Amino acid sequence: MDKPHQVTPDIEVLPAHFPIPGMGFLPVNAFVIKATEPVLVDTGMGMDSEEFMKALRTVINPQDLRWVWLTHDDLDHTGSLRKVLEAAPRARLAVNALAMLRMSSAWQVPMDRVYWLNSGDSIRVGDRRLTAIRPPLFDNPTTIGIYDDKSEAFFSADYFGGIIPSPAQNADDVPEGILAQGIIRWASADSPWVHMVQPREFSRALERIQQIAPKIIFSAHLPPARGKTGQFLELLARVPASTPFVAPNQETLEQILAQMRGGT
């Protein structure tokens, strides 16, 4: 875990980064929206769980949380979910129904604390409305991002993510060309089906985000990005025709292992 930091007067990021050998780092962010009914968005990676809970407590007393919004049930988003629900007895779990069902194969999700959302549904959390939006790219069918109508921010789940050379507090801290390449490659790696979509259909999906025009993008996998929505959408429009990402193979693994052995 990295040090939590405040991005807007009422939104804090709980950042972590995950090393990807030979490529760089994948940011892994959760967020606290200090709404009248405070909301935690995602719960980090399981390997960081102890540190995650400590970081959360520096930002908010978990007893004050009213909502935990799970963007999807991938392991880098659910790492501390059970601990958070225990520490935050008044919080409800805002989640897609399928995500709850999938998690229920591993542990008993308390159904009476769950609030099921589909894309387009919204909840009021006191001073603002949070609307579930399925982003144009996703790696999990249960994905619901959030549009916050007060901060005009889009919490975009894995979408707009990118592998970057070193951890950074803001997207502006990453050189533009490197950021662009990181976003395009991540989109191909995380949503490989993007290479099969009709470009026109995909453009329409991107236009829907353009119409919402979020002022800040809070991706789970990129440092917070202010004023970059148009630029990012242009990058993503290039992804269907880009070279598909291919995961490293056994030969690469052996090279990495040899380097590690050489380094010890």
**Closer residue to Fe ion, CB minimum distance, 37 or 74:** 74
What is the C-alpha separation between 132 and 233, in angstroms, rounded? Answer: 19
In whole angstroms, the minimum distance from the beta carbon of 74 to Fe ion comes to 4
Would you state the torsion angle of the CA atoms of residues 20, 141, 129, 210, taken in this order, to the nearest 10 degrees? 70
Residue number with the shortest CB distance to Fe ion? 74
Would you state the torsion angle of the CA atoms of residues 74, 76, 78, 80, taken in this order, to the nearest 10 degrees? 170
In whole angstroms, the minimum distance from the beta carbon of 105 to Fe ion comes to 17
In whole angstroms, the minimum distance from the beta carbon of 185 to Fe ion comes to 15
**Closer residue to Fe ion, CB minimum distance, 37 or 76:** 76
Tokens representing residue 69 in the block: 């919004």
**Closer residue to Fe ion, CB minimum distance, 143 or 151:** 143
Question: What Å distances lie between residue 21 and 6, 11, 242, 243, CA to CA?
Answer: 29, 31, 23, 21
Beta partners for residue 122, in sequence order: 131
One-letter amino acid identity for 97? A
**Closer residue to Fe ion, CB minimum distance, 7 or 70:** 70
Smallest Cα–Cα separation from 141: which of 114, 110, 118?
Answer: 118
H-assigned helices in 107-228: 176-190, 199-212
In whole angstroms, the minimum distance from the beta carbon of 190 to Fe ion comes to 7
**Closer residue to Fe ion, CB minimum distance, 139 or 172:** 139
**Closer residue to Fe ion, CB minimum distance, 34 or 185:** 185
Are the beta carbons of 38 and 66 closer than 8 angstroms? yes
One-letter amino acid identity for 173? D
In whole angstroms, the minimum distance from the beta carbon of 108 to Fe ion comes to 23
Q: Which residues bind Fe ion (CB under 5 A)?
A: 74, 76, 139-140, 158, 220
Smallest Cα–Cα separation from 184: which of 98, 263, 244?
Answer: 244
In whole angstroms, the minimum distance from the beta carbon of 77 to Fe ion comes to 6
**Closer residue to Fe ion, CB minimum distance, 148 or 190:** 190
Smallest Cα–Cα separation from 224: which of 131, 151, 160, 144?
Answer: 160
Are the beta carbons of 229 and 219 closer than 8 angstroms? no
In whole angstroms, the minimum distance from the beta carbon of 100 to Fe ion comes to 16
